[in-house]
Amino acid sequence: MKSDGPRKLPVISVWTDGSAWTGDRRGGWAAVLKHRQRVKVIYGGLWDTTSQRAELTAAIKALSSIRKRCMVVMVSDSQYLVNGLNQWVDGWAKRGWVKADGDPVLNQDLWKKLLVLREKHYLKISWVKGHADDEWNICADYFAGEGRALSTIDNQSIELTVDDIMQARYKS
């Protein structure tokens, strides 16, 4: 991480979610990005994936969409993502992408991308219980589900603003 402290950086709040059906391995990912009063939702589909890959993809897509170095306050209902970034990934990288039990780390390609993106920003990530009282987590969950509909074309994604969301929600 670069040395400029988080106090000087713009703050962007991010909520991410990923979803996959085990039966057909179609998945979706979504991220809600909020800076001051502006909100943007990005989401997309994944083919032949798992829930864990969809969760990691949501974080990657969110961080990749932020052009300038920022203080990113990320919230996820994935303990895999949160614990991975807060506790595990640095050890995995030091051990050559092998877990403490000697097994290879799953999803190395995505964890490596997250490590690079984490260095670009000052990142704080925390866990929230899914499907509970966090309105932006619920929004991310909804759009991750919508992303599954895009999974027939891998990596297709859509970007929406709050105006787009409100117009679609209240369309008569």
For the stretch 142-167, pLDDT in tens is: 999 988 888 765 555 566 565 565 55
pLDDT, residue 28, reads: 94
pLDDT of residue 170: 41
123 strand-pairing partners: 72
Look up 134 and say whether it is catalytic. Answer: no
Q: How long, in residues, is the chain?
A: 172
1 domain-assigned: no
pLDDT at 6: 65
In this structure, is residue 82 part of a structural domain?
Answer: yes
Which one, of 166, 162, 152, 172, lies nearest residue 47 by Cα? 152
Higher pLDDT, 1 or 50: 50
Look at residue 52 in the predicted model and tell me its pLDDT: 96
Query: CATH number of the domain that 43 lies in?
Result: 3.30.420.10
Average confidence (pLDDT) over 27-47 = 92
Is residue 11 in a domain?
yes
Residue scoring higher pLDDT (4 or 38): 38
**Number of domains within the chain:** 1
Catalytic residue among 17, 44, 45, 121: 17
Note whether residue 142 is domain-resident. yes
Q: Tell me the helices (H) and strands (E) count for the chain, helix number first.
A: 6, 6
- Please report whether residue 100 resides in a domain: yes
Nearest partner of 37 among 161, 140, 132, 122, judged by Cα: 161
User: What pLDDT, on the 0 to 100 scale, is given for residue 161?
Assistant: 60
4, 90, 131, 159: which is the annotated catalytic residue?
Answer: 131
pLDDT in the model for residue 42: 93
Range of the domain at 67: 6-169
Residue 48 annotated in active site: no
> Within a 10 A sphere around the Cβ of 23, how many other Cβ atoms?
6
Instruction: Judge whether 141 counts as a catalytic residue.
Output: yes
Closest CA to 26 of 44, 7, 6: 44
Share of the chain above pLDDT 90, in %: 69
Specify whether 121 is catalytic.
no
The percent of residues above 70 in pLDDT, for the chain, comes to 84
- Residue 83 in any domain: the answer is yes
Q: What is the pLDDT of residues 82-108, one digit of tens each?
A: 999 999 999 999 999 999 899 999 999
Q: Is 108 among the domain residues?
A: yes
Which member of 28, 44, 55, 84 is catalytic? 55
pLDDT tens by residue, 38-87: 999 999 999 889 999 999 999 999 999 999 999 999 999 999 999 999 99
Instruction: Single out the catalytic residue among 28, 141, 146, 147.
Output: 141
Q: Is residue 31 part of a domain?
A: yes
Which residue is catalytic, options 77, 84, 146, 147?
77
